[in-house]
Amino acid sequence: MEFEHVLFAFALTLFAGLSTGIGSSLAFFAKKTNTKLLSISLGFSAGVMIYVSFAELFSQARETLIEELGEKTGNLYTVIAFFLGMLLIALIDKLIPSFENPHEMRRIEEIEELTELEKANEADLIKQKKLMKMGIVSALAIAIHNFPEGLATFSAALKDPTLGVSIAVAIAIHNIPEGIAVSIPLYYATGKKLKSFILSFLSGLAEPIGAIIGYFLLMPFLNDTVFGFLFSFVAGIMVFISLDELLPSAEKYGEHHLSIYGLIAGMAIMAISLLLFI
């Protein structure tokens, strides 16, 4: 595999991961959450992920595995990989407490509320220690969540650069509100906006790190069968993220219809782009 191809896949993963910094910027420099825009954007991201997962990743995985392993075994492995991807994200969400979970969406306005809370508890040393512990747990939660997302972006771009771009954009959009959600508990723990912004921004590095680790672990075994299994696995991850995180969050931020309009737009644009470029 050409080095330029690997480098491009890594660059896409880095772009998707560091987009958490956009959310962090919004959390500290915007005065109000643009709920309508976030609702549409999250719905759009979900539409892209769901369409890509079923129209491209799952179908390609099935075709590849059937060709390599036979119809019965290929179908079985495709389904197993798909639900294993879902199971991985479900377990991560289950094991991480909701407040520290970066997939629990928050609003920019909470910064002001936390500032007042911090002042009220400024002299409470025990409280400060608990908040710092919360910040550490939050940072670990971010890394755990972003690892499989980084692997998803990287593996898709490695196999098909055009498809990788679409997935990278969808994950980048979904990382923006995640950046807001990450910044708030970090600020809650440290009381410092700049430090919280930097930590939140750097947390996105977990995605390219996950991609690198995944690549070196899989590199000796990369072949059509592994790529087929990986594609179905990634499809399961993205469908779960869309159904469990993106769509519920889109409705939480805005009107129900806005999230559905965004969903349909994401699917339509993805369908058109695949017809034109793949």
Query: Where in the sequence is the domain holding 227, given as residue range(s)?
Result: 3-277
Residue 125: helix, strand or coil by DSSP? Answer: helix
pTM, full prediction: 0.67
pLDDT number for residue 77? 96
Q: Match 């650069």 to its residue by tokens.
A: 161
Mean pLDDT of all residues belonging to the chain: 75
Number of domains in the chain: 1
- Is the confidence at residue 265, as pLDDT, over 60? yes
Q: What is the mean pLDDT of residues 45-51?
A: 84
- Is the confidence at residue 162, as pLDDT, over 90? no
Q: What is the pLDDT of residues 94-136, one digit of tens each?
A: 776 554 444 555 555 555 555 554 554 544 455 545 555 555 5
Query: Is residue 72 very low, low, confident or very high in pLDDT (cuts 50, 70, 90)?
Result: very high
pLDDT number for residue 141? 60
DSSP labels, 129-171: HHHHHHHHHHHHHHHHHHHHHHHHHHHHHHH-HHHHHHHHHHH
- Is the confidence at residue 74, as pLDDT, over 90? yes
For the chain, percent of residues with pLDDT exceeding 90 = 10
- For the chain, how many residues are written? 278
pLDDT number for residue 266? 85
- Is the confidence at residue 34, as pLDDT, over 50? yes
Q: What is the pLDDT of residues 78-88, one digit of tens each?
A: 999 999 999 98
Q: Quick one: tokens of 202?
A: 């750097």
Contact residues for 269 (Cβ-Cβ < 8 A; gap 6+): 44, 48
Query: Is residue 26 very low, low, confident or very high in pLDDT (cuts 50, 70, 90)?
Result: low
Q: Quick one: tokens of 138?
A: 């939050």
